[in-house]
Amino acid sequence: MPVKSRKQALRRSRIDRLRCSFSQLRADAILVSNLPNIQYLCGFSGSAGLLLVESSQSTLFTDSRYTFQAREEVTEARVAIATHGLITAVGAALKARQAQKRVAYSTAHVTVAQKAALAAAAGSRIRWVGDIDTVQKQRAVKDAEEIAVMRDAAILISQVFEKTLPKIRPGISELDLAVEIEYTMKKLGASGPSFETIVAAGPHSAWAHARPSSKRLKGGDLVVLDQGAILRAYCSDMTRTVFVGNAPKRVQKLYRAVLEAQEAAKYAIHPGAMAGDVDAAARGVLKGYRFDQYFTHSTGHGLGLEVHEMPRIGRGENTTLQEGMVVTVEPGVYLEGLGGIRIEDDVVVTAKGALDLTTAPRDFLEL
Amino acid sequence: MPVKSRKQALRRSRIDRLRCSFSQLRADAILVSNLPNIQYLCGFSGSAGLLLVESSQSTLFTDSRYTFQAREEVTEARVAIATHGLITAVGAALKARQAQKRVAYSTAHVTVAQKAALAAAAGSRIRWVGDIDTVQKQRAVKDAEEIAVMRDAAILISQVFEKTLPKIRPGISELDLAVEIEYTMKKLGASGPSFETIVAAGPHSAWAHARPSSKRLKGGDLVVLDQGAILRAYCSDMTRTVFVGNAPKRVQKLYRAVLEAQEAAKYAIHPGAMAGDVDAAARGVLKGYRFDQYFTHSTGHGLGLEVHEMPRIGRGENTTLQEGMVVTVEPGVYLEGLGGIRIEDDVVVTAKGALDLTTAPRDFLEL
């Protein structure tokens, strides 16, 4: 029954797929310490955990605060409640193994102090193998279920923006707008913002990562609104820039250039494309307008359980895009004194190219 | 003029106080990588930074996204915008120094990969000295300005709770209550929640770190509300537990026991006390009621720029409490099937003992 076995293969668990990396890593086990990686692999969403994936079993180590929660959330792993620290418990478990083991761990997540404690707790029979991003790479390519949730998360944040539009008017503060945005996303079912909502008006909008202040919007302000929602653990991330009043010709031209840069970047996205080439497509358009010196960040980033994950869409990045990756496309220009313009959508890489998940309109709105 | 010089000494900058640790660490410089530590020392609140504190100068390395923001926020340090990664920039700066240097770094914050990259970038003339928590220890003792802000943050969250009380009634969902709480705190001036607000009703309240769900409150539910606000960068953290309807005698007894445990812990707080003895005071009261097996976490933790910082108030902790430390006091009991009860306040350690910063009443409310 070939159909059934194909289906089974598709459903092979994420932990099983991770086990396929053992041979490449020359390891018998992987110790996963990054919380989003743990959630991805076994479903646990608590704030303290270590997941030990061995060839024939997996164990989530957590503490007594999470006894009930772990029992409810965790599938595909045994739950062990550590009473004297997670590292001590993992060390004791490894020490109890008969054979000598090679255990991979992420050098990008384990601190120098944790590594020393692990080595001491597990004893000298365990060999530690440095890994960087095996689980992250697996997470970068989303499965159909993940893409469906991420589309819902992108639609949700688009709806939040459209509901917020009538409130963007002179007199309201950046902070009050940000509060409205986060309130609306929760009312629409989000568990929370995927990052601190950015509302930045006037010259403040030239800070690409501004925090909303009590400053009130006024006529002649560019307003950058960068917002994302977490829905069923997955993030969306969307930026729109509007103008309070009628925008001068120069601002209109800047906006058109950014939108054109975004379209060029999306057009450059397809399975097999280099991430750096997508960035270069956006940058090239802005260079044509002589605005490239105002584009001071990368074109985009991967998105999923975390708001920033692999792949990075930046200058010279040589990651090859694959079908199923979800990334942001968000060129921007920032002019000190005048303000900033950024347009950001979430897209999924498909065989036919970039497919927009974000649904909010991208026209320049003069309010 | 002794008065003036005392004042000057009090105002000696946080970076200068950190420099006093150089000799104990046997280091000529400290590389600070933890973002709250960086914010504490130089004011920078961005998401990417490394702060190099040397004996005669300090440099904040950040990237081009933060050019304007760093210029506005940072005092007491030079700002360097790194174009090829922060670690590369720090390495180049250290390499350019004439003399051989010993540089301390926090093994609790620097990952194994970052450490390797730093060593490679800085070259072999730099000796790296492992440190754990020098800045954290400095941060644990708050100065008068910090305590004033933290009192405001604690009053704010107390007000939020009192404003939320009328909404705690059968039919409202945990999530809607959490949304109301976070909305109200922002309306009252908070920049956001200091952690994801916990509203957990009925048996769900037995999860000490539950996330609010769409479950609706109903008569007979214990409801645990754990909330905190960030005000001018500092956190508050407060838990109250209420009952929907008239509570059975057993629940009333549990509540009284937890409140008594909290009072005993507060009474045990004074400069010179051991953190473990404060925890033992709370645990002892619950033991007297034979409820100690339901108290599955620590009595409290330090609070400040982060919601969890030093000192930990837990079993056997031998940290000595000092005047100016701000900690939570939050015993709780969790019974599977029935639910949880936790009462949490923020207090500052003063010469006269624990002083409550939290102002919300602690009586058992049957709503």
pTM, two decimal places: 0.84
Average pLDDT rounded to a whole number, residues B44-53? 95
Query: Per residue in A58-80, is it b (16+ CB within 10 Å) or e — as a string?
Result: bbbbbbebbbbbbeebbeebebb
**Do both B145 and B259 map to the same domain?**
yes
Of B68, B115, B336, the CB nearest to A206: B68
Q: Grade residue B12 by pLDDT with cuts at 50, 70 and 90.
A: low
Distance (Å, whole) CA A55 – CA B331: 41
Contact A108 B109 (CB under 8 A): no
Question: Cα distance from B9 to chain A (closest Cα, Å)?
Answer: 33
**Do both B101 and B198 map to the same domain?**
no
Average pLDDT rounded to a whole number, residues A79-103? 93
Average pLDDT rounded to a whole number, residues A41-63? 95
Q: Grade residue B10 by pLDDT with cuts at 50, 70 and 90.
A: very low
pLDDT in tens, B57-109: 999 999 988 998 899 999 889 999 999 999 999 999 999 987 889 999 999 99
Q: Are B241 and B223 in contact (CB under 8 A)?
A: yes
**How many other β-carbons are positioned within 10 Å of the β-carbon of residue B178?**
26
Percent of chain B predicted with pLDDT > 70: 97
Residue ending a domain, among A139, A165, A181, is: A139
Of B186, B196, B206, the CB nearest to A192: B196
Average pLDDT rounded to a whole number, residues A78-104? 93
State the pLDDT at residue B161: 98
pLDDT in tens, B240-296: 999 999 999 999 999 999 999 999 999 999 999 999 999 999 999 999 999 999 999
- Domain CATH number, residue A258: 3.90.230.10
Of B64, B112, B175, the CB nearest to A110: B112
Residue closest to A132 by CA, chosen among B8, B114, B82, B334: B114
State the pLDDT at residue A356: 98
**Do both A184 and A212 map to the same domain?**
yes
Question: Cα distance from B290 to chain A (closest Cα, Å)?
Answer: 19
Contact A209 B65 (CB under 8 A): yes
Q: Which of A98-107, B51-60, B204-213, B252-261 has the lowest mean pLDDT?
A: B204-213
Degrees, nearest 5: CA angle B355-B356-B361: 150
The single-letter DSSP state of residue A247 is P
Degrees, nearest 5: CA angle A135-A38-B297: 155
**Do both A114 and A233 map to the same domain?**
no
State the pLDDT at residue B120: 97
Structure tokens, A117: 């404690």
DSSP E strands, B3-157: 29-32, 50-54, 58-63, 78-82, 101-106, 126-131
**Do both B116 and B199 map to the same domain?**
no
- What is the radius of gyration, based on Cα positions, of chain B? 23
Of B111, B196, B207, the CB nearest to A107: B111
Average pLDDT rounded to a whole number, residues A287-312? 97
Does the structure show a pLDDT above 50 at B225?
A: yes
Does the structure show a pLDDT above 60 at A2?
A: no
Distance (Å, whole) CA B250 – CA B331: 18
Average pLDDT rounded to a whole number, residues A233-244? 98
Residue ending a domain, among B110, B139, B168, is: B139
Residue ranges in chain A assigned as alpha helix (H): 2-11, 14-19, 22-25, 35-42, 67-73, 86-95, 112-122, 134-140, 144-164, 174-187, 249-267, 275-288
CA distances from B157 to B111, B161, B262, B350 (A): 35, 6, 19, 22
Contact A296 B65 (CB under 8 A): yes
Distance (Å, whole) CA A9 – CA A147: 19
Beta partners for residue B344, in sequence order = B239
Residue closest to B46 by CA, chosen among A280, A43, A306, A207: A207
**Do both A131 and A153 map to the same domain?**
no
**Do both B120 and B262 map to the same domain?**
no
State the pLDDT at residue A211: 83
If residue A53 lies in a helix (H) or strand (E), which one and from where to where? Answer: strand A50-54
**Do both B197 and B248 map to the same domain?**
yes
State the pLDDT at residue B3: 45
Residue B64 contacts A, CB cutoff 8 Å: yes
Residue B233 contacts A, CB cutoff 8 Å: no
State the pLDDT at residue A5: 43
**Do both B145 and B212 map to the same domain?**
yes
State the pLDDT at residue B294: 96
Domain around B313: 141-366
Structure tokens, A42: 């076994």
- Domain CATH number, residue A97: 3.40.350.10
Q: Grade residue A1 by pLDDT with cuts at 50, 70 and 90.
A: very low
Residue A210 contacts B, CB cutoff 8 Å: yes
**Do both B121 and B197 map to the same domain?**
no
Average pLDDT rounded to a whole number, residues A229-252? 97
Residue ending a domain, among A80, A106, A139, is: A139
Strands A58-62 and A78-81: parallel
Does the structure show a pLDDT above 70 at A8?
A: no
Residue B287 contacts A, CB cutoff 8 Å: no
**Do both B194 and B67 map to the same domain?**
no
* Counted domains in chain B: 2
Q: Are A19 and A104 in contact (CB under 8 A)?
A: no
**Do both B206 and B304 map to the same domain?**
yes
Does the structure show a pLDDT above 80 at B1?
A: no
pLDDT in tens, B282-326: 999 999 999 999 999 999 999 999 999 999 999 999 999 999 999
What average pLDDT is seen over chain B? 94
Residue A130 contacts B, CB cutoff 8 Å: yes
CA distances from A95 to A33, A84, A89 (A): 18, 16, 10
Average pLDDT rounded to a whole number, residues B195-207? 94
pLDDT in tens, A145-193: 999 999 999 999 999 999 999 999 999 999 899 989 998 999 899 988 9
Does the structure show a pLDDT above 80 at A3?
A: no
| Residue in chain B lying closest to A133 (CA) | B113
Average pLDDT rounded to a whole number, residues A212-226? 95
Does the structure show a pLDDT above 90 at B134?
A: yes
State the pLDDT at residue A12: 57
